[in-house]
Structure 1
Amino acid sequence: MNLSNLLSLVAVITIFLAVLLSFFLVSVKTQNKLSNRLFALFLIWTAIDISGVVIDSFLTEVGNLQMLRPLFIFLQLPTFYLYVKSACYSDFKLKWIHLLHIIPFLLVNTILIPRYYAVDLLGKVDFLSNIQSMWEIQFNFILIHIQIAVYLILAFLNIKKAKRLYLENYAGESIETFNWLFQFTVALSIFYGIALLKNIFKFSEYQEWSDSLTVGLFVFELLIISWYLLKALTHPNLFRSLDSKLQLVEHIISEDEQEEDNDTNETSEELIALKKYMEEEQPYLNPGLTIQDISDAIEIPVRELSLLINHQLNQHFYDFVNSYRIEHAKKMLKDPSKNKWTVLEILYESGFNSKSSFNTAFKKHTGTTPTSYRKSL
């Protein structure tokens, strides 16, 4: 099998999976409808982008489609960025202002009108024959890589902020989904980094290197889509989204610096009330516990409770709750009457709802694994 046939085969498989996953995301019943649809749209742009390997072999003459198709890449990263926003925040909605994200796509097509879209067949052939020296193509090449860098940075910043908000306000297992979203964005960054290298070779004397990297990119893209498909099937409710109105503690502190300091005695009383509630009522056994739940129970406003835990105790709410869960798990591991209990049973009884989150939290608080801890007793 030659390089061209291999490329076509991988492209067809990738396009098939992308379309299949898009259909699954749009049709599946879930609360994350908007984020699913945005990611499905991202996959459609991706399928269009790589379809050139297949479509171009069937085109008998030069046309506008050959230029328009690869330019859909200018819609990929804006759509992915909006997907990240919708996946992180439950109240995210598409607004008219989001149409600004399509400006680069419109711009690159507009500048091609005079010397490509609006000319006859001979003009198009002449343009494609000298494509590497055309300023429109060079401009598009520079713009797409600037756009990729900007949107990937924005995606990483949004994930980082959302994860911090989650740690300060929630104590479930969903932190793992933010870690996965970060990993997926890293994978995309690597993909586009290789694509940049491929394009550099394409406009140089090392054309054969560009062809080899193209095959590698298609295989990598196939792996990324397969990875997401696996996650979508095994974790249909991938994200527990946040309220975008939540504030980071550092912002609350910054605002409070302009106001009077809290009374020390009042803070101490609130801290005593919080610890008493945690020890006596054991709310941490609820795997879906949120800071709002505790706020309602001990009648301390969420804002003050967040400052108390994150600033006064110097802990994220996530770690604060897990510290109680781990102590509860340690007592169960020490209890002779529970010797026959499995680690899985103990983690569920302690308020965790996944083995990976339990092992990570246990090792963070004790320096060892649950199994090793039990053996050392």
Structure 2
Amino acid sequence: MPLRTEPGSADAPLAPGPPPPTRPTPPAAYADLHEGGPGGTGGVVARVTLQTVADKVGVSRMTVSNAFSRPDQLSSDLRLRILAAAEELGYVGPDPAGRALARGTTGAVGVLLTDSLGMAFRDEIASGFFGALAEELAPTGLALALLPTRGSGETIPARDIAMDGALVYACAGDTPALDWLVRRRLPLVFVEQPPLPGYASVVLDDVGGAAAGAQHVLDLGHRDVAILTMAPHGEHGLVADVARASGSYVDRARVRGWTETLRAGGARVSAAQVPDNSERHGYEGARLLLDGPDRPTAILCFSDLMAWGVVHAAQDLGLRVPEDVSVVGFDDSALAARIRPALTTVRQDLAAKGRAAAVALTRAIEAARTGTPLAEPLETVLPTELVVRRSTAAPRVTARAG
């Protein structure tokens, strides 16, 4: 694995408010087709249709449809005339559902998330991946539809939303939403979790990345090392055997890389597990590990966000980073370089992950569209890179008796 080093009041009269907004004046041709217009029907609103535009331009309905759906079938001048007439009439185009039926594609792909849609916007790594994915899919005309794992009432997004395929992003394998996607026989790509048989996957070398972080602190001389990880539905607090604690695929893979390497290097390992990947939970977990006589000299963290919480906790306890405790993160998010001291971490390439996921998904969608079975699903494992900054150093004291 490559190693990279970087430097480090209530009664007052109300003032008159602004005048109410005025409604924009619709195009003349649009007004003619509505109540009060010269061509209106005395109170009944007439809907602008494909035929309305065709009559205005003097072409067939199919020609107007092609202007929106198959522009290569028309001359540039004719298409511009049709689009100008449509805009003047207030016509936005053929009904999307009808277009999807005619073309055999919805133009959308779903992304099934772990617990809530909010996660995609709060988590810097998740949002970075979705941004990279959207950039890669943009030239194909495919748009992203975020799918929660749970439905509301009679609405189940994974069952009801039209899509050409979906990404399953770090979800539990037994979620009902995933079952709906499989039952619909949609092309699927699994990201950051093992795939179901017959489906493509894109995963990070989490084991190797964690092992590199663990080996780094061993090489610095640390032999009292703590692991701080997460498991939303597992055991929380100090755990005797973190390797047996429950968590997601990513959690378990990183724990494996840490523990195997540390034990092989003769280190004494302590661990804390928290319910969520957040700075607050990282802080709380670090207090459990550091606020005692047998504190570790180094902490390996599930993410940069949790590592930030560790740095805060250490400082609140009067400890210096890295002199009293070294801290290693994971992901190399933008936060890692902003933390003081700058954070040693394990880098993942979000652009490469987005590109790999887009390639695998579009390949699966095309195979399903053409009825061509894939010889075998793509299995992509992306490399990681250890980035050494200023949050790690050799231990200056021994925290535990030998």
Q: Above 0.5 in TM-score? A: no
Question: Which one has a larger percent helix, Structure 1 or Structure 2?
Answer: 1
TM bucket, shorter chain: under 0.3
TM superposition score normalised by structure 2: 0.22
